[in-house]
Amino acid sequence: MDWFLTILGIVLLIMLHELGHFLVAKATGMRVERFSVFFPPSILKLKRGETEYAIGAIPLGGYVKITGMSPQELVHVDARVADRTYFMKAPWRRIAVILAGPLVNIAIAFVLFAAVLMSSSLIGKLTLANLDPNTEAVLPSTQVVAIDKGMPAAHVLKLGDQILTVEGRPATVLSAERRISKHRCAGPQVEGCLAAKPVHLTVRRDGRVIPISVRPRYLKAAKRTLIGFEFGAKGKHFGVAAAASASISAMWHATTQTVTSLGRAITSSKERKQLHSIVGITEFTEEAVASGPGRALIVIGYVSLVLGVINLFPFLPLDGGHILWALSEKLRGRRVSLAAMWRFSSIGLLLLFFLVVSGIHNDISRIVG
Tens of pLDDT along 96-122? 999 999 999 999 999 999 999 999 888
Cα angle, residue 9 at apex, residues 305 and 4 outer, rounded to 5°: 150
The pLDDT of residue 280 is: 56
- Judged by average pLDDT, the poorest of 130-139, 223-232, 341-350 is 341-350
Burial class of residue 168, CB neighbours in 10 A (0-12, 13-18, 19+):
exposed
Prediction pTM value: 0.76
- Return the pLDDT at 138: 83
Q: Above 60 in pLDDT, residue 136?
A: yes
Confidence of residue 359 (pLDDT cuts 50, 70, 90): low
Residue 289 has a pLDDT of 62
CB atoms within 10 A of CB 72: 10
* Rounded CA separation 111/12 (Å): 15
| Residue 279 confidence (pLDDT) above 60 | no
CA dist list (Å): 177 to 143, 225, 255, 295, 368: 13, 9, 37, 30, 45
Q: Would you tell me how many other CB atoms lie within 10 Å of the CB of residue 46? A: 10
**Bridge-based pairing state of the strands 138-147 and 224-226:** unpaired
Determine the average pLDDT of the residues in 163-189.
89
* Residues with catalytic function: 18
What is the average pLDDT score of the chain? Answer: 85
